[in-house]
Amino acid sequence: MQKFLAPIQHARGISLIAAATTLFLTVFLTGCDKPASTPGAATGPIKVGEFASMTGSEATFGQSSHEGTLLAVDHLNAAGGVLGRKMELLMEDDQSQAGQPATVVRKLIARDGVVAVLGEVASSRSLEAAPICQQSQIPMISPSSTNPKVTAVGDYIFRVCFIDPFQGTVMANFARHTLHLKKVAVLTDVKSDYSLGLAKFFKEGFIADGGAIVAEQNYSSGDKDFSAQLTALKAVNPDGIFVPGYYTEVGLIALQARQLGLNVPLLGGDGWESSSLIPIGGVSLEGSYFSTHYSPEDTSAAVQDFVKAFRAKYNETPNAMAALGYDSAMILADAMKRAGTTDGAKVRDALAATKDFQGVTGKITMDADRNASKPAVILAIRDGQFKYVETVSP
């Protein structure tokens, strides 16, 4: 018996190895390259992936962006879909955590077979996922990541928003020429590509405008106590403080600055925009300003139609991330229609050729670096609300 059993076990061993090898090849090779389902398959819904911070420290970013994206998909499907097919949005929560974007985007591409990816809001998380989309030849559109490095990852990576060299200059000019500030301090989140980039571009712009950067301090995302940095900033007596961070830390920084008797205006960028900012920072934020992508007070038909539809669906007023999320899905659909296919390379070419697309956040034209050149909006915080101040064109 033994003699007969041995070859049988051996054969089983081989088939197990073969099965394991097939599994390995399927999971890893298709995982790194093309999805299991054919991207150009012309039947069934068009699967589009989205990755967003639905929970964690930037939860409002993902939630707002997702609501806007979903509204766009509703509108597209109500109007007959894309290429005669329904668009299906597969959303993954990356929990605002480093490491998660790569995991969930790999899953969307390899397991779910999405033909394009929408996301992320935050630049560091877009930067983490972009190389995976690029290698897989799956177009990725970030609705709102503004750091220049994001689209520099490769020719499959796009965004529908402006970039931080522009945003930083806009706030520098506003600080120098509208608020007439001369001496500004900067408080940067060194864990965030967005914060590091925006701080740099603001400083360059403010100095070019004849202002002085009188102090610089750093913090890390997740910090709760900023008293050491704020005490150091107070000592140099600045006219204002530029805080290019995200809302959770910005709210706490505003509170602690006022507690220390530091009462100069705080300035920031789009990372301030959250329905949680004022609940965290309260009256400490009065008289502060930040730049962003859009204002619901804009009277144009594109904005007002969107605001109306968004309110009808969610019973709340859409912010910039919601508007950009909406635009990201609409731009993708437009490119697929012009390409006549969902094939990655052809959609990439159509996206690159996007010209004068009327979005909610303005006219969108992709430049040679796959960025959109668009106006910025400055908002003030007054009476516990975001108030439109002005629009600045590039």
Q: Which is nearer to ligand PHE, 39 or 362 (CB)?
A: 362
Closest contact distance (angstroms) between CB of 319 and ligand PHE is 7
Closest contact distance (angstroms) between CB of 145 and ligand PHE is 4
Q: Which is nearer to ligand PHE, 87 or 377 (CB)?
A: 377
Closest contact distance (angstroms) between CB of 299 and ligand PHE is 22
Cβ 198 vs Cβ 164: under 8 Å: yes
Closest contact distance (angstroms) between CB of 221 and ligand PHE is 11
Q: Which is nearer to ligand PHE, 96 or 144 (CB)?
A: 144
Q: Which is nearer to ligand PHE, 163 or 184 (CB)?
A: 163
List interacting residues with ligand PHE (CB under 6 A).
Answer: 61, 121-123, 144-147, 194, 270-271, 273, 320-321
In angstroms, the CA 87 to CA 77 distance is 6
Closest contact distance (angstroms) between CB of 14 and ligand PHE is 51
Closest contact distance (angstroms) between CB of 285 and ligand PHE is 16
Cβ 80 vs Cβ 147: under 8 Å: no
Q: Which is nearer to ligand PHE, 89 or 161 (CB)?
A: 161
Which among 198, 303, 310, 280 is positioned nearest to 243, based on CA atoms?
Answer: 198
Closest contact distance (angstroms) between CB of 27 and ligand PHE is 31
Q: Which is nearer to ligand PHE, 145 or 354 (CB)?
A: 145
Kindly list the strands in the beta sheet with 46-52, ordered across the sheet, starting from the edge strand earlier in the chain. Answer: 87-93, 46-52, 116-118, 140-142, 157-159
Q: Which is nearer to ligand PHE, 147 or 284 (CB)?
A: 147
Which among 201, 281, 283 is positioned nearest to 242, based on CA atoms?
Answer: 201
